């Protein structure tokens, strides 16, 4: 019985291999260089401009505080030899207070900027994924991989779809 199953399995495998054409096993693969796509699409520049405009006022406020801290620190270095201990202590406290204000305003701003960046990037990622799917379907690709995560691919057999994806996303 075991011989029969073994020989039947072997016979079926041989028949399948002989009967199958080369095209039945063809697997069309493409790759996309996501870093290049992100660099080239105009949506990324728009996101950067939008976020800069959105947070410009608050960033300027932080830059002013940083400038004030530098000014007061330089003043302390220049004039500390002629200051009384009370004046030195008052200036130290003033600098520390400004540093505390900077930290209290800076951290939430950084977090808010990151959240907004992620929201905007999610929109762009959706556009990119949709473009990849569209290009892959149009080109009748069986599989599309991210170039950065692929260790090796034969450029003669695997198509780089990055430029097509950039064109598709840029037109939206």
Q: Is residue 4 part of a domain?
A: no
Least Cα distance to 39 among 155, 137, 169, 172 occurs for 169
Q: Is residue 20 part of a domain?
A: no
Q: Is residue 145 part of a domain?
A: yes
* Residue 84, domain extent: 26-170
Q: Residue 39: its pLDDT value, please?
A: 92
Taking the chain, what is the end-to-end CA distance rounded to the nearest angstrom?
64
- Identify the three-state secondary structure at position 143: strand
- 48, 116 Cβ separation under 8 angstroms: no
CA distances (Å), origin 158, targets 98, 133, 155? 57, 16, 5
Longest dimension (CA), the chain: 105
Mean pLDDT of 144-157: 84
Q: Is residue 16 part of a domain?
A: no
Q: Residue 25: its pLDDT value, please?
A: 57
CATH of the domain at 52: 3.30.910.20
pLDDT in tens, 6-45: 343 333 434 334 444 444 456 888 999 999 999 999 999 9
Q: What total of structural domains would you count in the chain?
A: 1
Q: Is residue 164 part of a domain?
A: yes
- 147, 32 Cβ separation under 8 angstroms: yes
Q: Is residue 11 part of a domain?
A: no
Angle 51-57-60 from CA coordinates, rounded to 5°: 105
Q: Residue 3: its pLDDT value, please?
A: 47
Q: Is residue 10 part of a domain?
A: no
Residue 92 Cα to chain centre, angstroms: 41
Q: Residue 26: its pLDDT value, please?
A: 66
Instruction: List CB contacts of 99: < 8 A, sequence separation 6 or more.
Output: 69
1 — pLDDT class (breaks 50, 70, 90)? very low
In this structure, of 3-7, 80-84, 95-99, 168-172, the range with the lowest mean pLDDT score is: 3-7
Q: Is residue 98 part of a domain?
A: yes
pLDDT in tens, 82-127: 989 999 999 999 999 999 999 999 999 999 999 999 999 999 999 9
Q: Whole-angstrom Cα distance, residue 44 to residue 41?
A: 6
Q: 30 φ, ψ to 5°?
A: -130, 160
The residue behind tokens 């207070």 is 97
């Amino acid at each position: 019985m075991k011989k029969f199953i073994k020989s039947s399995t072997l016979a079926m495998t041989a028949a399948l291999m002989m009967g199958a054409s080369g095209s039945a096993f063809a697997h069309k693969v493409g790759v996309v260089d996501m870093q290049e796509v992100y660099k080239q699409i105009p949506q990324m520049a728009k996101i950067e401009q939008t976020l800069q405009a959105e947070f410009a006022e608050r960033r300027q406020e932080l830059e002013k505080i940083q400038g004030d801290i530098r000014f007061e620190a330089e003043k302390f270095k220049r004039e500390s030899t002629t200051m009384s201990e009370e004046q030195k202590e008052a200036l130290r406290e003033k600098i520390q207070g400004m540093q505390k204000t900077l930290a209290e305003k800076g951290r939430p701003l950084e977090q808010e900027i990151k959240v907004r960046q992620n929201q905007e990037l999610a929109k762009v990622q959706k556009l990119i994924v949709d473009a990849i799917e569209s290009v892959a379907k149009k080109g009748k690709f069986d599989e599309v991989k991210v170039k950065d995560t692929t260790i090796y691919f034969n450029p003669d057999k695997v198509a780089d779809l990055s430029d097509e994806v950039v064109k598709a996303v840029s037109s939206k």
